[in-house]
Amino acid sequence: MEKYSVLMSVYYKEQPDWFDEAINSMIKQTVPPDEFVIVKDGELTEALNNVIDRYTEKYPELFRIVALPENKGLGPALLTGVMACKNEIIARMDSDDISLPTRCFEELIELESDESLMIVGSWVNEFCGGTDNIIALRKLPCSNADIKEFARKRCPFAHPSVMYRKSAVTAAGNYRDYPYFEDYDLWIRMIKNGYECKNIDKPLVYMRVNDDFYRRRGGVKYLKKVLRFKREQYKSGFYSFKDYFVSAGAHCVVCLMPNFMRDFVYKKLLRSKNKGR
């Protein structure tokens, strides 16, 4: 099968054990990566550096470590990482999630069977603690048409599940410094370029969530970032006025509600009750 690179960014607040699990899940893919690019987004803790050192010593030909002198944020870190990847196909992975062993094989099959396909992702299982404690199954639209329609309301991909073509990402302008929306911002620009998209209709990634995961999606500070992003999409013509009004209005309500209510909305209303295995 076609060779691919794994792209992961890590910064000092990450948990070393989770970081270790995330790397290990990508190394143990049924179709292993040809390259593993880790962007150190600023200075890391000793424990995180120890995880990296252990893997680079064991797999010296596989890993490529890109060290940024200071913390730049996820967007700039991934922009640098994309350019550092040597392969056309890149598998994104977060430093605290876990990929199923067949994830990359199944995504490569999709990309190799359709040369016009530029992004492929999957559904994800959201879990807390261990992967035996699945909180919800996050289902996403699968067809190109449904993804493009869904993108006018909410993010159509789970970022740690995607595999994409480097040339399409760079042609769309690559990642930007857009806190909380680095991925959504990129997907919209790729969609506007006319690129074909797809989600596989089953979970191929365990995505870690906890109380902070939902709490971070609330409050006035977060809402300001939401509205800034949505205004840009409206001004660019991607959102219609109706799209903007409905999407921004819903976010205002969710962001300003108490944490326990926001947890309920995300876990019970915006996720499937049918947990995937």
Please give the chain's pLDDT, 277 residues, in tens.
899 999 999 999 999 999 999 999 999 999 999 999 999 999 999 999 999 999 999 999 999 999 999 999 999 999 999 999 999 999 999 999 999 999 999 999 999 999 999 999 999 999 988 999 998 899 999 999 999 999 998 999 999 999 999 999 999 999 999 998 999 999 999 999 999 999 999 999 999 987 666 566 667 787 888 889 999 999 999 999 998 888 888 778 777 776 656 566 555 555 555 444 4
Q: What is the pLDDT of residue 262?
A: 59
Q: How far apart are the first and last CA of the chain?
A: 26
What pairing do the DSSP bridges indicate for beta strands 63-68 and 35-41? parallel
| CB-based contact 25:99 (threshold 8 Å) | yes
Q: What is the pLDDT of residue 1?
A: 87
Residue type, 72: K
Taking phi over 0 as left and psi of -120 to 50 as alpha, with beta for the rest, 173 belongs to left
Q: What is the pLDDT of residue 274?
A: 47
Give the chain's largest Cα–Cα span. 54
d(CA 272, CA 201): 13
Q: Is the pTM of this model over 0.85?
A: yes
Residues 6+ apart with CB under 8 A from 107: 91, 120, 121, 122, 163, 200, 204
Read off the tokens for 4: 């691919």
- Calculate the CA 58 to chain-centre distance: 27
